[in-house]
């Protein structure tokens, strides 16, 4: 079992989930901050549909009946507040720089 595997979830009001991870960490996932609620995720905007979230037994992440799921590593960092590893921040910074360079050309 990987440390970021989700082992338990609690569905809370206002599009929030309380997630428990295999390494003992736990925390609140606020979906409104991270899910766009359009395209494949549009149906999650219905609170009754959002509440149909489950843990995928194979992938150990959350998913909904329409197949929408989220990366367990991202859920881990978003929910626990533990920062993403430096390489993720370095990649995001590089992407921002490249985007600015494209815009300024």
- CATH number of 50's domain: 3.30.2020.10
> What is the number of domains present in the chain?
1
Q: What is the DSSP string of the chain?
A: --TT-EEEEEEETTTEEEEEETTS-EEEEEHHHH---SGGGGGGGSHHHHTT-EE-TTT-SEE-TTS-B--HHHHHHHHH-PPPPHHHHHHHHHHHHHHHHHHH-
Q: Is residue 17 part of a domain?
A: yes
Contact indicator for 81, 15 with CB cutoff of 8 Å: no
pLDDT at 64: 97
Show the domain range for 71: 6-104
Give residue 88's pLDDT: 64
Does 105 score more than 70 pLDDT? no
Kindly state whether residue 45 falls inside one of the protein's structural domains: yes
- Residue 1, in any domain of the structure: no
Residues 9-52 have pLDDT tens digits of 999 999 999 999 999 999 999 999 999 999 999 999 999 999 99
């Amino acid at each position: 079992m990987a440390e970021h595997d989700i082992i338990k979830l609690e569905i809370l009001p206002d599009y929030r989930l309380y997630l428990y991870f295999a390494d003992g960490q736990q925390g609140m996932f606020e979906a409104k901050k991270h899910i766009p609620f359009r395209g494949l995720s549009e149906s999650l905007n219905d609170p009754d549909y959002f509440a149909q979230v489950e843990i995928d037994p194979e992938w150990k992440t959350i998913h909904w009946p329409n197949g929408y799921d989220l990366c367990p590593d991202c859920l881990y960092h978003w929910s626990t507040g533990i920062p993403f590893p430096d390489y993720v921040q370095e990649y995001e910074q590089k992407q921002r720089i490249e985007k600015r360079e494209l815009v300024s050309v």
